[in-house]
Amino acid sequence: MNAPTGRLGGELTLPYPYLLFLGGTTEASYAKTAFGLADWASDRCTGEWGIEGCSVSTGLPRLSPAEARAAGARAMVIGVANQGGVIDQAWIPALVEAMDAGLDIVSGLHAKLTSAPALVEAARRTGQRLIDIRTPPPAIPTGTGRKRTGQRVLTVGTDCALGKKYTALALHRALVARGVDADFRATGQTGIMIAGGGMPMDAVISDFEAGAAEMLSPDAAQDHWDVIEGQGSIFNPAYAPVSLGLLHGSQPDVFVVCHDPTRTAILGMENFMLPSVEEVIDLTIRLGRLTNPAIRCGGVSLNTFAFAPEKAEELMAFERERLRLPVADPVRGGAAFDALVENILA
Amino acid sequence: MNAPTGRLGGELTLPYPYLLFLGGTTEASYAKTAFGLADWASDRCTGEWGIEGCSVSTGLPRLSPAEARAAGARAMVIGVANQGGVIDQAWIPALVEAMDAGLDIVSGLHAKLTSAPALVEAARRTGQRLIDIRTPPPAIPTGTGRKRTGQRVLTVGTDCALGKKYTALALHRALVARGVDADFRATGQTGIMIAGGGMPMDAVISDFEAGAAEMLSPDAAQDHWDVIEGQGSIFNPAYAPVSLGLLHGSQPDVFVVCHDPTRTAILGMENFMLPSVEEVIDLTIRLGRLTNPAIRCGGVSLNTFAFAPEKAEELMAFERERLRLPVADPVRGGAAFDALVENILA
């Protein structure tokens, strides 16, 4: 399908088709960039590649850099993230091989590609480019809290990496299909790669975090919807500042809570229990009403990937009854997802 | 009095005595850097200076850069902050004049001195230095939420610029006077100038905000106290992400709410009502218990600067009764402040 496009970030144009690089990843949660690109911008992706030990797959063909180049690829995208967003030393030979094969390297990691001398040297030698997309625009103002025109829906979550971007993309697609004037507002590396623009919220300096979110979804027509990709979780001991700045600056009219029922602890922090959906709803309203007193929960996006269809339906029905809110899995779609979309627009 | 020293940030050594630069400030809240230095590091300050329109004073002698240089000053410190932390174009002639007089320029603003071509040119011409202290250390890790050893008290507030740094400095002084092993942990430009080290929390990239606060107050002996300078407010639509990262990463055992009873709206945002002290206590406990379930409010630091002594006493007594917590003004000290300190240590 065609990738959605945002109105911001037009200056960023990436070379594609992409070869998706998975590193040595063994846990799908850490490869969300690759999965997101395969799902939402598959027409820009030629294949995937990994190093020894890699046990996840997006389903795209496994191609070496040379094979991908021969198939038309122009860049290898680092499709895997790790705690801290650093460049794993084990990736270096693969990245150099890709440049030798004629591919640029595109990265959304915190650590800049240009901070790795071996990559800089290979780029100089091969003439290929090192493209770091996680660089915020200059001159972001501090937040003002001023209420902007237009409608906004933000995806929030019980944790990182459980469907906030996917849910926002699916909601955007559903709104457009209903004839609603809507924009997908990307806030993370994958979303920005898919949309071709946005705001890398977790790379923004803290003092400007809310202001960056205000910039991302400017004043719009009263019936226009911005569908804003959430980041992190207000219950995550590492990333809550990102989530709070995005919440305050987005001043959403509606939010959707994204949740993975199989997850019991915060990703990578076994001592932190996952908050309940109710806790997330309650605290999001409490914090969000600072900049939008009318904030409300539009429903729950349940990641039922791990369940068979009947079990997933059962789980969603149970949650729907318990929370008295629309509950849907955007991957499964159907009437449940329609009900969620309708409740957002209500 | 002697300035407190922290254990961190030893690599940062600033040239002093300072001449404090007040710009054209007419509102004392925006000159908190100058006031803080005059109050807590007066032995490092020679005098103050401003441009036309400046109507605030720290009480130090008004000296031109040439007079200050003759009196021994080695640097002019920008002692004024504005929304966004930019370099006001109206300051440039004064900053150049200071360099011509033989002073280095020290700044804690977000905008780097080196971003102003006129200053770079003057520095080149005069040989004086442009020193930006608001540069976080490299390689800050993301937060882990791991509980650290030692005791921590954090000052929080109903808003910015109403006494969080002052309260932390006074608490640190009081703890040391009681023989408690304690460190003042600076988080803003003035605190860092006073302490000679710390973490410029509002200049840290959002994804690392909680991790930076974890770095600032490392594991310590079980009876050691870190007195951590608060930043912003969780109710400020611009700066809440800074406050939340500091709260989560500091994992305070105790917090003190700083409040100015004359303030009714958030500074610079007339449409945002100041939260009540109770709201701040309640939300701080709710958010803070994520990383320290034992978090408690130690009391209230009331900024009674605007009141006569009897009125201030009356106000504190009223609040003490209403909140059932120690309430004191650290500037006034006395038995009320002793009670606050005792309740923190309790």
Which of B205, B210, B286 is the closest to A204 by Cβ? B205
Q: Residue B4: what pLDDT?
A: 43
B221 to each of B52, B151, B345, how far by Cα in Å? 51, 8, 15
Q: Residue B1: what pLDDT?
A: 37
Residue pair B43/B29 in contact (Cβ under 8 Å)? The answer is no
Instruction: Check A207 against B203: CB less than 8 A apart.
Output: yes
> For A92-112, what is the mean pLDDT?
94
Sign of CA dihedral B29, B32, B38, B40: positive
- Residue A271 CA to residue A250 CA, distance in Å, equals 30
Instruction: Check A206 against B205: CB less than 8 A apart.
Output: yes
Reduced to 3 DSSP states, what percent helix, strand and coil does chain A have, rounded to the nearest 5?
Answer: 40, 15, 45
pLDDT above 80 (res A37)? yes
Instruction: Check B238 against A269: CB less than 8 A apart.
Output: no
Q: Which residue of A has its CA nearest to B144?
A: A238
Q: Which helix (H) or strand (E) holds B257?
A: strand B254-259
Residue pair A212/A140 in contact (Cβ under 8 Å)? The answer is yes
Strand bridging mode B18-21 / B269-273: unpaired
Looking at A100-104, A235-239, B20-24, B30-34, which range is the least confident one? Answer: B30-34
Closest of B280, B277, B287 to residue B249, by C-alpha: B287
> For A284-311, what is the mean pLDDT?
97
3-state secondary structure of A302: strand
Residues from chain A that touch B242, judged by Cβ atoms under 8 A, are 206-207, 209, 241
Inform me whether the C-beta atom of residue A55 falls under 8 Å from chain B C-beta atoms: no
Residues 227-256 in B contacting A (C-alpha not used; CB under 8 Å): 235, 237-242, 244-245, 248
Q: Residue A36: what pLDDT?
A: 87
Q: Residue A2: what pLDDT?
A: 39
Residues from chain A that touch B210, judged by Cβ atoms under 8 A, are 237-241
Q: Residue B32: what pLDDT?
A: 84
Q: Which helix (H) or strand (E) holds A243?
A: helix A240-250
- Residue B265 CA to residue B297 CA, distance in Å, equals 23
> For A309-337, what is the mean pLDDT?
97
pLDDT above 50 (res A292)? yes
Q: Residue B13: what pLDDT?
A: 61
Instruction: Check B239 against A84: CB less than 8 A apart.
Output: no
A81 to each of A21, A59, B178, B213, B341, how far by Cα in Å? 11, 18, 49, 23, 45
Looking at A39-48, A141-150, A333-342, B285-294, which range is the least confident one? Answer: A39-48
- Residue B260 CA to residue B301 CA, distance in Å, equals 9
Count of positions (residues) in chain B: 346
**Cα B59 to chain centroid, rounded:** 19
Spatial CB neighbours of B290, under 8 Å, sequence gap ≥ 6: A235, A237, A240, A272, B145, B248
Inform me whether the C-beta atom of residue A280 falls under 8 Å from chain B C-beta atoms: no
Which of A209, A238, A269 is the closest to B241 by Cβ? A209
Which of B204, B209, B272 is the closest to A145 by Cβ? B272
Domains within chain B, CATH numbers bracketed:
18-132 (3.40.50.720), 151-345 (3.40.50.300)
- Residue A341 CA to residue A338 CA, distance in Å, equals 5
Instruction: Check B242 against A240: CB less than 8 A apart.
Output: no
Instruction: Check B143 against A237: CB less than 8 A apart.
Output: yes
**Cα B137 to chain centroid, rounded:** 18
Q: Residue A12: what pLDDT?
A: 54
Q: What is chain B's Cα-based Rg?
A: 20
Inform me whether the C-beta atom of residue B286 falls under 8 Å from chain A C-beta atoms: yes
Distance from CA of B36 to the nearest CA of A (A): 21
- Amino acid identity for residue A244 in this structure: L
Inform me whether the C-beta atom of residue B209 falls under 8 Å from chain A C-beta atoms: yes
Q: Residue B110: what pLDDT?
A: 79
Q: How large a percentage of chain A has pLDDT more than 70?
A: 96
Inform me whether the C-beta atom of residue A286 falls under 8 Å from chain B C-beta atoms: yes
Instruction: Check B85 against A210: CB less than 8 A apart.
Output: no
**pLDDT in 10s for each residue of chain B, 346 residues:** 334 433 333 335 678 899 999 999 999 988 988 998 998 888 889 999 999 999 999 999 999 999 999 999 999 999 998 777 889 999 999 999 999 999 999 998 878 999 999 999 999 999 999 988 888 887 899 999 999 999 999 999 999 989 999 999 999 999 999 999 999 999 988 888 887 678 999 999 999 999 999 999 999 999 999 999 999 999 999 999 999 999 999 999 999 999 999 999 999 999 999 999 999 999 999 999 999 999 999 999 999 999 999 999 999 999 999 999 999 999 999 999 999 999 999 9
Q: Which of A9-18, A83-92, A138-147, A254-263 has the highest mean pLDDT?
A: A254-263
pLDDT above 90 (res A29)? no
- Beta strand extents in chain A (DSSP E only): 18-21, 45-49, 75-78, 104-107, 130-132, 151-157, 182-185, 225-228, 254-259, 265-266, 269-273, 296-302, 327-328
Inform me whether the C-beta atom of residue A74 falls under 8 Å from chain B C-beta atoms: no
Closest of A20, A27, A311 to residue A160, by C-alpha: A27
- Beta strand extents in B129-215 (DSSP E only): 130-132, 151-157, 182-185
Distance from CA of B148 to the nearest CA of A (A): 14
pLDDT above 70 (res A13)? no
Looking at A103-107, A167-171, A190-194, B249-253, which range is the least confident one? Answer: A190-194
A71 to each of A65, A76, A148, B61, B83, how far by Cα in Å? 10, 13, 46, 74, 52
Instruction: Check A241 against B239: CB less than 8 A apart.
Output: no
Instruction: Check A241 against B206: CB less than 8 A apart.
Output: yes
pLDDT above 90 (res A6)? no
Which of B85, B204, B207 is the closest to A239 by Cβ? B207
